[in-house]
Each structure stands twice: as C-alpha cells, then as structure tokens.
Amino acid sequence: MTASTQMQSVDAIAELARIWKRYEGDPEGAVRAITETASKALKTARASVWLLAEDASEMTCVDLYDAGEQRHSSGVVLKAVDFPAYFAAMLEEETIAAEDAHTDARTSEFSASYLTPLGIGSMLDAPIRTGLRLVGVLCHEHIGGPRVWGLGERKDAAFLASLASLTLELKNRAMREALLAATLESTGEGILASDDTRVLAFNQRFLDMWKLDAKSMRSFEGVRSYIAARTSLSGLVSQANEAFAGEAGETIDVLELDDGRVFERSSRPQLMGKQVVGRVWSFRDITAQRRAEAALRASEAKMRDLAIRDGLTGLFNRRHVLELLDDAIARALVVGERVSVGLVDLDHFKKINDELGHLVGDAVLRDFGQQLSARFRASDHVGRYGGEEFLVVLRGANTAAALRIFEELRTGFRTREYGELPRYTFSVGVAELGMDGADATELLARADVRLYEAKRLGRDRTVGR
C-alpha cells in the first residue's frame, strides 16, 4: 500500500469516527456506513457484511455496497452445502486473503457462479465476532485481476469488522461511546474533537504527540493555548485560534513545533444541519518525511552545484561561466545594460609549478579564486576559464569601471599578506560589449588580444581599450 493510499485509508476511518454519533439508534445505517468506509479505505469496488446462521448452515448478506453504482443491496443467501470449502475456512475465524480468488482453495467454489459474472478477481474477508462467537464476515471484493492484500489493509479490514461487531451489539450509550473510543485509538493520527468551549474527545496518540496527560485535557482553553505556544510559526497561532473557535472551514496546514518536530494538521467542522457545533482535529507527525525531503533537496542542490563548479577553486566552471556570459549579453541587449569581461591570467604560473610543485600551484589557484570572489559583486560572475586563466563577467560596468576594479585588485596584491604562499601577480585583458564585440565570441577574442598585450608589455598589468 502506498503512503497516499494509507492516508486515504486513515482519512476514511477517521471520517467514520467523526460522523458516528448520527447513527445512534440506527444500526442499519451504521452497517451501511461501515461498508461504504470499507470500500473507500481499501479501494474495493464492493464491500459487504454477511451474518452467519446460528447453526452455520448459511450466511445472509445484510448489506452490500457497490461503489461503482453507489448502491446498497441485501438479501443474498449462501448455503454451506453449496460452498463447503469457504464455510470451513470461515469457521476457522481467520482472515481470508484470497489474492487470486479463482485459484485459492478457500474461494474457488465461487468462480463460475459468482466471481466470473461480476468480474471479481480477489477477495479479503475479515471475521465478525461477538464475544467468542463468529457471527459473520466483512467481505471486500476487488474487481479485476489478482491483488496482494498488504498487512495494513488486513489490519484495516479487521478493525472495520470489529466495528461491525460492535454495531451489532449496540444496546446503550456506554457501548456507543466505547465504539467511538475504539475507533479513535485505531488510527496512527492524534485526534481531538472540541466544540467552542470544551474538549469532547481525544485519543492516546494525541496525548503522546503533544506530550500531554489526560488531566490537562480538562481545560479547553489550556489545550488551545498550549498548542498555539508550541508552534514556531506565529502566523499559525491565529489560524489555530480561529479554527478552534469553529469559524473556519475544512483546513489542512503544517505546524512546526519548537522542539523541531513537524505535524500536518487537518481540521473538519462538525455540523448540525448547517451550523458548526464543533471541530475534529487530526495531527500527523511528518517530521521524518520533511527531513527526508530536505535531505533530498540538499542532495539535488549539491549535485547541481557540482555540475557548475570548478572542483579546485569552487568558482563556476568554464561551461557555466560562458552560459552566464551569454545570459548577461542577452539581457543587456534587451534592457540596454553595459557588460564588460575581464580575461585574467596568473603570471609565470608554470614557474611556480616547476619550482615549488603542483600542490603549491593548486594552493595559489585556490587563493586567487578566493580573492576574485571577495572582490566582485554578487551580480558579477567569476569562473575558472581553464588552467591558470579566469573569466570575470561584470554586469552594468563599462571598460573604465572594469579597469578601475581590476587595477585596485592588482595593486592590492603588492601589500597583501600571502602567508605561506609565494608572491604572485596577474595580467588582465578587458573588453566591453558593443565597443569591442557584439557577442561572447567577439568579446572573448578581444579580451584575449589585450591579455596577450599585457603579457608582452611586461605582465602584472591591465589592458583595455
């Protein structure tokens, strides 16, 4: 069963608990509600309740719900003499999970007369007991091919069968309240029911999730204030107060607690006619899910970063900085923004590698990448162009501005602290969009010519138009 299907199952059962009071004194309506809930919770086309005769000679359908036609029917009788294998299996009082009902020895007797005409491929029958006596079954019929019935589905079927059993035994108000309590405790969600002034019902899961005890539930105002105070998102406090007061419609939101946990909260109004008389709250702990999602997003972000970053310097790699240059040019042509590029090369870098080794050379490259990153704006783009060459894309800057920035950086290298690194210098060739070229290829070619000129003139200098 998928997580989505599990949630639908829990929602269907919780909804039955919410509306259960309307079936007081109406056991037939309660049985119909159970078959509809069974069909919805387990995603089956048909669900039915069958009662066993005292002598186990036959079984009568008291309600069959057809989800496709949204119709209830009853009255079909199955005789033990006609289906001995099924009756024998049923009397074992164990759940019958026939994944392929046509071949399963317990249900294959139905194949020709019942399963094939209706297109049923799989059955899940849960025993209904009162006290120690088997009184019937809650049957789920899957239209189509074979189906694997998961552990969660079997548990849901067993719970609904026990609910059907309690329905048959309802004699007084105390038993009906016990049924509601059993339903509330069946779900993994924390459930709280309230009107405008009182806590009407809650389950143990609610207490556990919110770290409360039963005594603290005496004061509705105290519970409301406690929950509001524990949520770290202040905007939800007013929502919580509003929903507790019964003024909002059905809502689903997320509460971030001050202890790091994350709950998904759904809130449904309890209606009497068209009047809201209370609310049923359900809280689901989605902390693990949110953490997994955050880890996945972080992993995806890291993978994206690895794809665009140079592994040594941490700057953009050649491919990505060229893409950013193309984007900057395209934007500039639309909005009239200036764009300049600086092609930067470390002077005598081969000598550093040959005399001091490649580890020192790598350290120099990393250091220079850090110096460039620290000097330029977030709107500029700095990348490793290749080897000891770097490319800087300056948005909103003309040649004069670019030359000034590079000169300030270059002269600053004369007085900076190098630590254990050797002193080094760099040369720059600058070109401006429009003045020196109309596209990236022309700009880079012009910047490269000026970088070569800087080298020819003695290095450790910046050359522009």
Q: Which domains does the chain have, with CATH numbers?
A: 1-185 (3.30.450.40), 188-298 (3.30.450.20), 309-463 (3.30.70.270)
Least confident of 94-108, 136-150, 268-282: 268-282
Provide mean pLDDT across the span 65-72: 94
CA 17/CA 202 separation, integer angstroms: 11
Task: Write the single-letter amino acid at 167.
Answer: T
Residue given tokens 């050379």 in the structure block: 361
- What pLDDT is stored for residue 172 in this prediction? 38
Q: How confident is the model at residue 367 (pLDDT cuts 50, 70, 90)?
A: very high
Over 50: is that where the pLDDT of 253 sits? yes
Provide mean pLDDT across the span 290-317: 85
| Whole-number average pLDDT of the chain | 86
Q: What burial class does residue 336 get, using C-beta atoms within 10 Å of its C-beta: 0-12 exposed, 13-18 middle, 19+ buried?
A: exposed
Q: How confident is the model at residue 248 (pLDDT cuts 50, 70, 90)?
A: low
Over 50: is that where the pLDDT of 245 sits? no
Provide mean pLDDT across the span 215-219: 82
Q: How confident is the model at residue 234 (pLDDT cuts 50, 70, 90)?
A: very low
Q: Could you give the C-alpha distances from 298 to 43, 293, 302, 313, in angstroms and in order? A: 36, 9, 6, 21
Q: How confident is the model at residue 173 (pLDDT cuts 50, 70, 90)?
A: very low
Over 60: is that where the pLDDT of 65 sits? yes
CA 384/CA 381 separation, integer angstroms: 10
- What pLDDT is stored for residue 176 in this prediction? 45
- What pLDDT is stored for residue 237 in this prediction? 45
- What pLDDT is stored for residue 9 in this prediction? 54
- What pLDDT is stored for residue 350 in this prediction? 95
Over 80: is that where the pLDDT of 168 sits? no
Q: Crossing angle of helices 358-375/399-412, nearest 10°?
A: 130
Q: How confident is the model at residue 24 (pLDDT cuts 50, 70, 90)?
A: low
CA 448/CA 309 separation, integer angstroms: 23
CB 255 within 8 Å of CB 209? no
269: left (phi over 0), alpha (psi -120 to 50) or beta: beta
Q: How confident is the model at residue 238 (pLDDT cuts 50, 70, 90)?
A: very low
Residues found in the chain:
465
Least confident of 143-147, 231-235, 303-307, 434-438: 231-235
Side-chain half-sphere CA neighbours of 120 within 13 A: 29
CA 84/CA 287 separation, integer angstroms: 50
CA 325/CA 441 separation, integer angstroms: 10
Nearest to 250 by CA among 287, 223, 227, 282: 282
Over 70: is that where the pLDDT of 273 sits? no
CB 142 within 8 Å of CB 85? no
Provide mean pLDDT across the span 300-309: 83
Pairing of the two strands 199-202 and 190-194:
antiparallel
Over 50: is that where the pLDDT of 246 sits? no
Provide mean pLDDT across the span 37-48: 93
Q: How confident is the model at residue 10 (pLDDT cuts 50, 70, 90)?
A: low
Give the ranges where 170-264 is alpha helix by DSSP (H). 173-186, 204-210, 220-230, 234-244
Q: What is the pTM of this model?
A: 0.44
- What pLDDT is stored for residue 166 in this prediction? 76
Provide mean pLDDT across the span 344-349: 96
382: Cβ contacts below 8 Å, ≥ 6 apart:
315, 316, 321, 369, 372, 373, 376, 390, 391, 392, 393
Side-chain half-sphere CA neighbours of 114 within 13 A: 16
CB 341 within 8 Å of CB 447? yes
Residues linked to residue 409 through DSSP beta bridges, in sequence order = none
Over 90: is that where the pLDDT of 229 sits? no
Residue given tokens 């009788």 in the structure block: 77
CB 432 within 8 Å of CB 465? yes
Largest CA distance in the chain: 111
Over 70: is that where the pLDDT of 417 sits? yes
Residue given tokens 């639309």 in the structure block: 334
Over 50: is that where the pLDDT of 86 sits? yes
Over 80: is that where the pLDDT of 448 sits? yes
| Phi, psi dihedral angles at 406 (to 5 degrees) | -65, -35
**Most confidently modeled of 106-110, 218-222, 287-291?**
106-110
Terminal CA-CA length for the chain = 69
More confident call, 128 vs 93: 128
DSSP 335-392: HT--EEEEEEEETTHHHHHHHH-HHHHHHHHHHHHHHHHHHS-TTSEEEEEETTEEEE
Percent share of the chain, pLDDT over 70: 87
Instruction: Give the count of beta carbons closer than 10 Å to the beta carbon of residue 29.
Output: 14
Round the CA-based radius of gyration of the chain to a whole number and report it.
Answer: 37
